[in-house]
Chains A and B, each alone.
Chain A
Amino acid sequence: DVKVTQSSRYLVKRTGEKVFLECVQDMDHENMFWYRQDPGLGLRLIYFSYDVKMKEKGDIPEGYSVSREKKERFSLILESASTNQTSMYLCASSLGRSEQYFGPGTRLTVT
């Protein structure tokens, strides 16, 4: 059974804090993705990675960075959290152009 796990389901942080969101997949997928989901905007791609240490910007990378030191782990970093980064964050992985498998999401609130 395929599995994508995210480090936290709910997170509350203060403005200006550095925030780490971790994602782990056990399917040996080469591609991993970070999205945020906001009402009326759907899922928007923040960053993705197609190999260890390789990454590309998605549609809304500003204010975020990522790290992929191991194939199974992909981290999203908010360098200095702001209130407009309050959102649902979703991690996914895929093999080639096949369907993406998603984690359960992290609901981040920045106050």
Chain B
Amino acid sequence: DQQVKQNSPSLSVQEGRISILNCDYTNSMFDYFLWYKKYPAEGPTFLISISSIKDKNEDGRFTVFLNKSAKHLSLHIVPSQPGDSAVYFCAASAHRAGGTSYGKLTFGQGTILTVHP
């Protein structure tokens, strides 16, 4: 039961253009969403997050959009740079009824982004 899905295993983009990475979720209890970036032989690093009370969050070249009705979020990278080439994971957190989630995250399968010079 994959509650967070990234349906595109890979994405190839030209330097300077926009990269759009997509993520869908099924659990309506998810209320906090994050994007992580992972280079080979390194651990994932946090990029940007969004709470379900918002529909957009921006940080420099990175913007995350959340469409709650469609249970869909996307990460936009503008302009894309060769150094952005990595695996991108979306993740979601649910607030457990009557308690805390302890920060537990559910991750998608990842999308390999390649930015060509």
**Main SS at interface, chain B:** loop
Do A42 and B107 touch (CB < 8 A)? Answer: yes
- CB contact list, A35-92 vs B, under 8 A: 35, 40-45, 48, 50, 56, 58, 90, 92
Q: Inside 8 A of A100's CB, which chain B residues have their CB?
A: 46, 103, 105
B: interface residue count bin: 20 to 34
Closest approach, in angstroms, between the C-beta of A11 and any C-beta of chain B? Answer: 14
Q: Is the CB of A31 within 8 A of B89?
A: no
Residues 53-78 (chain B) with a chain A CB within 8 angstroms: none
A2 to B65, CA, bound (A): 28
B103-A98 in contact (CB<8A): yes
- Cβ contact within 8 Å between A104 and B43: yes
The interface size of chain A toward B, counting residues with CB under 8 Å, comes to 30
B contact residues around A99 at 8 Å (CB):
34, 46, 49
B binding-site residues for A, Cβ under 8 Å: 4, 6, 9, 32, 34, 36, 41-46, 49, 89, 91, 93, 95, 100-110
